[in-house]
Amino acid sequence: MRWECEPISHPWLAEMPTSIVQIYTPEGFVVAADGREYDITSGETLADNIRKIFPVSGKGRALLYSISGTNKLTSLGGVKDDLNLLCLLHDSVSKRSDSRCKSLWHYAEALIDAIDLPEHEVDDEPTVIYLDGYYDRRSKRGTIKLFHNGEKSPQISVDDPTQGKIEGCGSNVVLNALRDNLEITAKYRTPSWRLQRSEITLVTALDLARSYIGAQCDDEVRQLDPKWFKSIGGVGHLCVLRASGEFEWMFRNVQTGDWIACDPPTGPTVP
C-alpha cells in the first residue's frame, strides 16, 4: 500500500532544532511539540518542559499557534538573550484579542505589526510561527516567518489545510526511521502510518502525533541524528482543536511514555 504521509524531507516540512507536528482532519486539528529549550551557542539544555503550543479564541477565531526557531534575541547594547520573542508574541496576540480581521492572513499581518521588537543584534536563525485552526468557522493553516538577518521582511503564507497531511518540523532522520519501521522505533510505530490521507480521522491523527513526538523525544531514538540530538527532547505535549472550537490538552510522561490528559496550561511550561 502506498503511504500518503509524506516524509519530513519534503518542502512543506522543515528540519529544525524543534519538533512540531500539525495534522488536519474534518473533525479538527492535532498539534504536538517537544518541550526542550536549547542554547545553540553554549550547547546547553535550558529546560525540558517549555510550552510551545498556545490557544487563541474569540472574535470568530479558534486557533493554535506554535513556535520554532529563534525564540530569544539580544538587544543592541543589552545582555545576551534579553528579548524573549515568545513573550512579545503573547503580547501581540493579547493586543489583538478584541480586534476583528477579515481573514487569517490579515490577522497574521496584524500580529506582526503588534510585535514591539526593539533594535537587536542580527544574524540569528529565523523564527517560524505556525497557525492552525478555524477563522470565521473555516479551517485554515498559516505560517509567519520572521527573519533576523537585517535583510528580509517577514513572510506570511495562508492555505486551506489538507486532510491527513503531516506537516511541521523536527529531525528528518528520526521521522524516516519511524516511517521505515526500524527496530529502534518499533514501539512508536502504529497502524495509522499505513492509512491513506483520506482515511485519517481525528483519532488516528492523534495516534500519529503521539507516535511522531514520542520518537522525536526519545533519547535512544534521537541518537540516530547527532545534529539535533541535544536540541530536541523533553516533555512532549499536544492539543486537539475540535471543529466545535473546543481545546483538549495532553502531555507525555517522560518516565512511562504515556500520554496523559491535563488541564489547559496557563504558564510557560507544561506539567
In whole angstroms, give the CA distance from residue 95 to residue 91: 6
Q: What are phi and psi of 207, to 5 degrees?
A: -60, -45
Question: Does any domain span residue 124?
Answer: yes
Mean pLDDT of the 208-223 span = 95
Residue 8, pLDDT score? 35
Work out how many domains the chain is built from and give that number: 1
Q: How many helices (H) and strands (E) does the chain have?
A: 5, 16
Residue 205, pLDDT score? 96
Residue 187, pLDDT score? 93
Question: Does any domain span residue 247?
Answer: yes
Residue 188, pLDDT score? 94
**Residue 120 predicted with pLDDT over 70:** yes
**Residue 1 predicted with pLDDT over 70:** no
In whole angstroms, give the CA distance from residue 160 to residue 132: 10
Question: Does any domain span residue 3?
Answer: no
**Residue 117 predicted with pLDDT over 50:** yes
Question: Does any domain span residue 5?
Answer: no
What is the crossing angle of helices 172-179 and 202-216, to 10°?
A: 120
Question: Does any domain span residue 267?
Answer: no
In whole angstroms, give the CA distance from residue 213 to residue 222: 11
**Residue 229 predicted with pLDDT over 70:** yes
Task: Choose between 133 and 150: higher pLDDT.
Answer: 133
Those residues whose C-beta lies under 8 Å from the C-beta of residue 151, and which sit 6 or more positions away, are none
Question: Does any domain span residue 95?
Answer: yes
Residue 13, pLDDT score? 67
Residue 44: which domain range?
13-262
Residue 2's pLDDT band, with cuts at 50, 70 and 90, is very low
- The CATH number assigned to the domain holding 145 equals 3.60.20.10
Mean pLDDT of the 75-98 span = 86
Mean pLDDT of the 159-181 span = 90
**Residue 167 predicted with pLDDT over 80:** yes
- How does the average pLDDT of the chain come out, rounded? 89
In whole angstroms, give the CA distance from residue 30 to residue 259: 14
Q: What is the bridge-based pairing of β-strands 28-33 and 237-242?
A: antiparallel
What cell was used for 154? 517577514
**Residue 266 predicted with pLDDT over 60:** yes
Question: Does any domain span residue 158?
Answer: yes
Mean pLDDT of the 4-31 span = 76
Residue 176, pLDDT score? 86
Buried b (16+ CB within 10 A) or exposed e, 161-173: bebbbbbbbbbbb
Residue 70, pLDDT score? 85
In whole angstroms, give the CA distance from residue 180 to residue 137: 37
Task: Specify whether the CB–CB gap between 109 and 156 falls below 8 A.
Answer: yes
State percent of the chain over pLDDT 90.
64
Q: What are phi and psi of 210, to 5 degrees?
A: -65, -35
Residue 3, pLDDT score? 42
In whole angstroms, give the CA distance from residue 88 to residue 47: 20
Residue 7, pLDDT score? 41
Task: Specify whether the CB–CB gap between 73 and 83 falls below 8 A.
Answer: yes
168: left (phi over 0), alpha (psi -120 to 50) or beta: left
| Alpha helix segments (H runs only) across the chain | 85-95, 104-114, 172-179, 202-216, 219-222
What cell was used for 133? 485552526
Question: Does any domain span residue 269?
Answer: no
